[in-house]
Amino acid sequence: MGMTQRPISATWRLIKEQLPLQLSKADRLILLQQVQSQLVEMARYSWSLRMH
């Protein structure tokens, strides 16, 4: 376990801090959805690594 195992809430806080405030709500929603799918992929990947 390394830096990849950081809690999701910390990741969300980081994302929210990085988001430019001038982003529209729609843009922010799209960005959050992209990040969420990335988190799901990362979780699935680390899970498959653990299973092998």
pLDDT of residue 24: 78
Residues 6+ apart with CB under 8 A from 39: 8, 11
**Rounded alpha-carbon distances, angstroms, from residue 48 to 1, 19, 36, 38, 39:** 14, 31, 18, 15, 14
- pLDDT tens for 12-28 read 777 777 766 667 788 87
pLDDT of residue 4: 59
Mean pLDDT within 28-32: 84
CB 30 within 8 A of CB 21: no
Which residue in the block uniquely carries the two structure tokens 């843009």? 27
Q: Where are the domains of the chain?
A: 27-52
State the pTM of this model.
0.45
